[in-house]
Structure 1
Amino acid sequence: MHGPANGLFFATCYPILAIIGAPANVVAIIILSRGQCGLSRCITCYLVAIAVSDFLVIITAAILNRIGRIYFRDSVLSTTPASAVSIMLVFATRDGSVWLTVAFTIDRFVAICCQGLKTRYCTGKTAVLVIGLVSTLSCVKNAPLYFVCQPLYILDGVPWFCDRKSTYFTLPAWQAYDWLDRILTPFLPFFLILLLNALTVRHILTAIRARRRLRGTKSHRDPEMVNRKRSIILLFSIALSFLLLWATYVGHFLYVRITGKGYFKCLNFNDPQYILQETANMLQLVSSCNNVFIYAVAQKKFREELRKVLMWPVTTFTGWFKR
């Protein structure tokens, strides 16, 4: 049975994600760039970079790739060269977003657990260098994807859509590249985020017990612990969100590798494999939309700045009207 319900559901969700995700990340970039949220320059650099990367994921993966292919199948976006560039950009921006999250996790781990290294590593200059390195490597790593694409068919001399060359599935070099791609995103980030957060939690609990023994009471408010708690809530919220939203993608990859069924290509929208595959892709995009909401929940000053940004058109119009 070729029911359209599931296909229509996913086709509807992608524009919704784009409408929410793109403005949300732009707002996050504006607010964080102002530097009024009470965060250090180091943290601000990472959060701005993550927001920019997530915005690019929405543009490339949701708008150019998914929406373009669903609603504008006969446009230039569906030609083989454009599709190949789109695929390369999707994976490059995705890797950048994932590894910037890892970089932010490493930075907070060093800041909390490695006091001797903190003053040298947790600086704005180091953050900028790490962000530049991650962005460059993400582009370099995914550049070869452009060269494995071939036309799905040629009509009136124009190549349309993309299919991977047969050599991608037979040559050992390409097979090694495919496995390296899966290990680097998301298995290694998964492992690093879980490990570093577990070590951070253990260090925090040990530090809290030690400070309580030194202070001799549990009732007094400890300003240092309060500030550290705010930073930890932000870190753990971002990390947990990443792990939950990428779990389906990891499960789908393992399913494909274990069963050997390959990725879904037919048009049976009711097939569970299609639903699993599209759900994994969509949750990846959701992970690029939700950080601004995490900031709003976890950071009081971010909420205050968000309120100012949202009220800016009203206050501007009111001031103009009064004049």
Structure 2
Amino acid sequence: MDLTTLPLILSVYYPLLAVFGVPANILTIVILSNGKCSLSKCITYYMVAMAVADLMVLIFDVLLYKIKEIYFPKSFLDYSQTCSLKITFSFISTDCSVWLTVAFSVDRFISICCQKLRTKYCTAHTSVVVIAVICGLSALQNFPTYVMNEPGQIIDSTPWFCVLKATFYTLPSWIAYLWLETILTPFAAFFLILLFNSLTIRHILVTSKARRDFRSSSNDPEVENRRKSIILLIAISGNFIFLWMLISVCQIFVQTTQNEFYNTDYSDSFTVAEQVGYMLQLLSSCTNTVIYGVAQTKFRSELKEMIKYPFALPIKLIKARYSRRWNGLLS
């Protein structure tokens, strides 16, 4: 790849990602919070939490890191302590997004497949507790990322920028931490999402077949609802795994070869693969709105209303003005 091609792609891709992703997640949060999508409070809380986590990923990783590095290469955000905080919050947001997706899959599995446990687990209170625990554990797990960096330069006695410590790839404790991070996020998450969603889909297919045989009707609304549940689960699982797969492979390569993270040699094939992997991973923070729109009719309807709302008042005023003028001419 030409040395200027990838940076040019990145300079266009990340602003477009922010322009689409930030409003999309904000709209998702507003629509779901209004409670007009006929979803239980339990599901609503998980979906809102996932959208908030995705929004935080876009803010810390795309706006304050990727776009800042491209268009504002030196600012107060490059002070070493600020830089480390920014990276830490980026990791926390990413882990929250991943594990909230896992929690949502577990909740759907229990709700659909475990009727006895459903009444105790699938409640608003439980979902709030689970979300809080995931956020707390994500913050605790990623605390070491704040100290894994060191100043890149000292200018007038002020530490600027942050780079990985030289011992990051050699010190056993850091190597163990990196392996733990890789195993937990995303490979353990891959396994759990595939496991619970596969079991849920299998249960839905079996019960739907039995229901159709019993009712002898293809227009059963319950079967239709279950079909939409299958679409939602497959879409969320497939989207997450597909968009995370490349960067996950790159993480394994770093730990088993001499490659390092965040190289800027765009003629190197691993660097190109890593950058494309980050592009796909961050894209996963903007796609849930599209998935909800495809799978949920009422969400799609509310989204259309939200998009039309800013234009409704001006159109109404224009119509009223011309109506008065037309009535004046007739009189």
In 2: Cα distance, 1:11 partner to 1:318 partner: 36
Q: Tell me if structure 2 keeps the 8 A contact 1:54–1:289.
A: yes
Shift of 1:315: 1.6
Aligned to 1:235: 233
Aligned to 1:58: 58
Q: Which is worse superposed, 112-121 or 94-103?
A: 112-121
Give ranges in structure 1 of 5+ residues lacking alignment.
none
What does the per-residue CA deviation read over 1:126-145, in whole Å, with 9 as the maximum and x for residues that have no partner?
11111111111111111121
What does the per-residue CA deviation read over 1:126-165, in whole Å, with 9 as the maximum and x for residues that have no partner?
1111111111111111112111211112122221211222
Counterpart check, 1:246 vs 2:244: yes
Alignment of 1:34-183 (within 5 A): 34-183=34-183
In 2: Cα distance, 1:208 partner to 1:231 partner: 12
In 1: Cα distance, 2:315 partner to 2:3 partner: 52
Aligned to 2:32: 32
Aligned to 1:260: 258
Q: Which is worse superposed, 171-180 or 136-145?
A: 171-180
Q: Tell me if structure 1 keeps the 8 A contact 2:208–2:226.
A: no
Question: What secondary structure is seen at the aligned counterpart in 2 of 1:36?
Answer: coil
Counterpart check, 1:223 vs 2:210: no
Give ranges in structure 2 of 5+ residues lacking alignment.
322-331
Question: What secondary structure is seen at the aligned counterpart in 1 of 2:142?
Answer: helix
Aligned to 1:309: 306
What does the per-residue CA deviation read over 1:70-100, in whole Å, with 9 as the maximum and x for residues that have no partner?
2111211122111101110110000000000
TM-score w.r.t. length of structure 1 = 0.94
In 2: Cα distance, 1:2 partner to 1:228 partner: 49
Question: What secondary structure is seen at the aligned counterpart in 2 of 1:39?
Answer: coil
Q: Which amino acid aligns with 1:121?
A: Y
Q: Give identity over the alignment, percent.
A: 45
Q: Which amino acid aligns with 1:161?
A: F
Give the RMSD, CA atoms, in angstroms: 1.8
Q: Which is worse superposed, 26-35 or 156-165?
A: 156-165
Q: Tell me if structure 2 keeps the 8 A contact 1:6–1:270.
A: no
In 2: Cα distance, 1:226 partner to 1:184 partner: 35
- Count of residues in correspondence between the two structures: 320
Which residue, 264, 268, 273 being the options, matches 1:271?
268
TM-score w.r.t. length of structure 2 = 0.91
Q: Tell me if structure 1 keeps the 8 A contact 2:21–2:286.
A: yes
Q: Tell me if structure 1 keeps the 8 A contact 2:152–2:162.
A: yes
Change (3 A) 1:97 1:196: same
Q: Which amino acid aligns with 2:77?
A: L
In 2: Cα distance, 1:76 partner to 1:37 partner: 42
In 2: Cα distance, 1:286 partner to 1:238 partner: 13
Q: Which amino acid aligns with 1:293?
A: V
Q: Which amino acid aligns with 1:116?
A: K
Larger Rg: 2
In 2: Cα distance, 1:314 partner to 1:290 partner: 25
Q: Which amino acid aligns with 2:44?
A: T
Which residue, 293, 297, 302 being the options, matches 1:296?
293
In 2: Cα distance, 1:76 partner to 1:56 partner: 20
In 2: Cα distance, 1:213 partner to 1:60 partner: 51
Question: What secondary structure is seen at the aligned counterpart in 1 of 2:147?
Answer: helix
Alignment of 1:193-204 (within 5 A): 193-204=193-204
Q: Tell me if structure 2 keeps the 8 A contact 1:69–1:78.
A: no
